[in-house]
Amino acid sequence: MVIKVIVVGAKGKMGSQVIKGLTEADDMKVIGAVDINNVGEDLGITIHQKLLGITIHNDLEKLLQQLTPDVIVDFTRKESAMHNINVALKKGVSVVVGTTGFSEEDLTDLDKSAKNSGVGLFIAPNFSLGAVMMIKCAQEVSKYFFQSEIIEYHNDKKVDSPSGTALATAQALAGKEGKNKESNDKSPCRGGEYGRTRIHSVRLNSLVAHQEVIFSGLGELLTIRHDTFSREAFMPGILLALRKVRDFQGLKIGLENIL
């Protein structure tokens, strides 16, 4: 069965990679694209250097009056994503989201909306399989090492800080009781303290996505590091999410929960 997909944020760095990856997958078909840039242009011009017969729109709600996708995938910013997700859920369309920065209240509301619509909503702070394994390894190590810090490195165009992956890692290390304990410390580093783990955020234009989790023991350090050098690394996780999001109702967060 071919899964029909609308990509929102289609002209962004991740959106462009998603378009490319979907057009190369036998069971996926891009039927629509939404972006605030290059409206009216054929989607394939700057991505594949050939026409795809898909015109870029700037209004998801209007596009859904014309098309019937199986899934919508969103890689935009938090404010835009909240609007897009709610539009899709009201239409009864499942959504896969790579946008981060949602509050606990946002997530609760989105979960309720998805359940009311009887469709699935999947959000991941990171679609890299390696990043998921990094978090799992760090969570295991945290049972034996009781001091830890996270250093995350991303492109300087990334809006949120700390990254969603860093927050997910800190939350996994802290457990449920430490999930929302953000420090008021105003130290010069980007980031903050979550549970018992301090996060440092680096933003430089040559970076993609990288993270170190550093554990301190008695007279020793243990470092777990993951590096993403190309956005292609996210495609296996995105394809997995697109294939599975229609199998459940409500919100699921994190690739580890659908592996």
Catalytic residue list: 154, 158
Residue 123: Cβ-neighbour burial (10 angstroms; 0-12, 13-18, 19+): buried
Strands 120-123 and 250-253: parallel
Altogether, the residues listed in the chain come to a count of: 259
Q: What DSSP string runs through 41-96?
A: SBTHHHHTSS--S-BEES-HHHHTTT---SEEEE-S-HHHHHHHHHHHHHTT-EEE
Three-state DSSP class for residue 189 = coil
Query: Which tokens is 236 given?
Result: 């296996």
